[in-house]
Structure 1
Amino acid sequence: MTEISQTIQLPNNESAIALAGINEQNLKLLSRYTGVKFVLRGQDLMLFGKEKAVARSVEVLRSLEPLWETGKAIVEPDIVTAFQAVDTGRTEEYGELQKNVIARTKKGELIRAKTFKQKQYIKAIQQHAITFGIGPAGTGKTFLAAVLAVTALLNDECDRIILTRPAVEAGEKLGFLPGDLQQKVNPFLRPLYDALYEFIDAEKIPDLMERGKIEVAPLAYMRGRTLSNAFVIVDEAQNTTPAQLKMVLTRLGFNAKMVVTGDITQTDLPPNQASGLIVSRNILRNVEGIAFCELTQADVVRHPLVQRIVAAYERYEKN
């Protein structure tokens, strides 16, 4: 097949840096996907390779243009999703994905879905009373749920956010934890706090908690309650027992949403104990009003190495 070259002129240095990535990691990834050689000289990006591969690469680069033309950092999930869009004729949908901003952090960073499955997950939360987000670490399950919860609270769409998870240690015994209830459960709920800090000043969170606008509690404290006018996030649900998860699901009150997140490959329960998340998925999959979104290693939006770690473990477990 004919070898050709093509040059794309980028508008400025910021665009070139955004597209190339740190140490030109993005260009290396593009080359790995297409076999095309990418050479960046200032604001000129030169492509060398087979005609079809170059054409496919140009189409992917054009689909990413709304990001790099404004100097927005491009990460691996952006590129992977761009390839999915080009290869399946969904470039128009991918353009909408880039424009659909769901929130803005304290620092002014725009939060949006980076993959098609993340978009599906966000839409499911917006349209259903109960949504299950199941997938490996780094796919944004908890973070995106917290973003939507904070947005709902700030827009007066709910009266409070309730964050809960089972107090199960991840493969190690922490022993006695000093302090009151809040201090005891804080280590288990740190991932939820991290998401809140992106949108709410740290000094304001204690006041919101004191006024009952944000409640953080272990799963056991949900028993006997009715959670109305609330946005409830049940995190690390793979570590619930079937009885525990049934209990918290049936706490749902009027004008409330519940998002249940977990990674069924990282269960910390005893070997003979069934996971409530797996059991619930089997029982509730076809119940009207409940959505299940299953994210994969392709949706990992942490360090690129996390995606490769997840993929390696998946291959090992299959074998």
Structure 2
Amino acid sequence: MHLSQLIGGGVIVRKGDTARLLSGVATVYALAETAVAQEAPLAAVIPEGGEVVDLAALAVQGKLDVPVRHPEPARMYLCGTGLTHLGSASTRNAMHASDAEDVSDSMKMFRMGVEGGKPAAGQIGAQPEWFYKGPGTEAIAPGAPLVSPGFALDGGEEPEIAGFYLIGPRGTPHRIGFALSNEFSDHVTEKINYLFLAHSKLRPASFGPELRVGDLPRHIEGRSRIFRGDEVIFDAPFLSGEDNMSHTIANLEHHHFKYAPFRRPGDLHVHMFGTATLSVGAGVTTQDGDVFEISAPDFGQPLRNALQVTPENPAPVTVHQL
């Protein structure tokens, strides 16, 4: 089962090839709240019936939003973990190692995951790399532009899977589902020094258009493409799911939600699980107007966003004394 959120209100549920607009349901967030309150699976609180709609057409028309939003954007956290996928370390090590013999901190972190990221049931595994991207204002709808600020040195895609979580009234994280994500980053800034990773991640990200409800498939095959006009300038497969990862989803979830401030009732968390496929690793330099497309059959409609580069950096930000 997949859910989609209409911009302006309205929820679409897709089962197989049939998508229908639910009657009397405004948001996926509200559905999730109901499921938590009733201590029921999400599928159990979805009403029957509803008008059949053309989901693909709605996606092309730009009418689908991020699958889940919080009504208060400041209570929506966009975070993620990196170096979680088999093969993800090679690009990062090349970015951060000073010579061929050097083992970067990125490679050391990756090896920690390979050796201890998949603990036995009930055990706690290795801690992953972690980053923060911003509040809910930085969650960009499918079809809307991903804006690269004037001070950025690069604007590059990262095709990932993201989990959406609602914190229940007793501080328990409840996973709503999974969606495609473009974890948009500044890889050139990151390459200068790995300590700039935090700066490189403070960018918008896009999600959707569909939310997959239920467990994440162990093996996911997707595709990441970049269009420049009518030309495809980058086209590469990406793999995800635990069979292709150095960490379990449960281990990554534990190391995020172990922090008490991330278990505040009513908050919404979107957590991106990393990737091993980057166009920057293939020597691609993106330009204003390029269109990113991330797709995977398990997640329905593809996620498309254009890159929008803002003008050069304005004057320094001035802080006013009160």
TM-score > 0.5, shorter chain as reference: no
- Larger RCO, structures 1/2 (Cα 8 Å, 6+ apart): 2
Greater strand proportion: 2
Q: TM-score, normalised by structure 1?
A: 0.25
Larger Rg over CA atoms: 1
Greater helix proportion: 1
